Amino acid sequence: MTIILEPETEAKLRETAQREGQDADALANALLAEVLERKAREFAEEVAAIQEGLDAVREGRERPFEEFLAEHRARYPAAPMK
């Protein structure tokens, strides 16, 4: 795979690699792997949170927003506008 970097990004990568005594390709690979791992972890956390919310609704611990909103509107009707 070939990845084309913007000139500014490539310059920062090369500067960082040189400062840290690393090969620029190895540093780019490590950084990409770290970011992809973090994104995968964040995605898994988001899916788990959504599933938890769905389970809570199904188990009656929470209720759909639409149900809350309808009850709220029935209890507190909007004042007529002039």
**Buried b / exposed e across 10-45, counting CB within 10 Å, b at 16+?**
eeebeeebeeeeeeeeebbeeeeeeeeeeeeeeeee
What are the pLDDT tens digits along the chain (82 aa)?
899 999 999 999 999 999 999 999 999 999 999 999 999 999 999 999 999 989 998 898 988 888 889 998 999 987 665 6
Whole-number pLDDT of residue 43: 98
Task: Report if pTM > 0.75.
Answer: no
Domain ranges of the chain: 37-76
What pLDDT, on the 0 to 100 scale, is given for residue 52?
94
At residue 57, the pLDDT reads 84
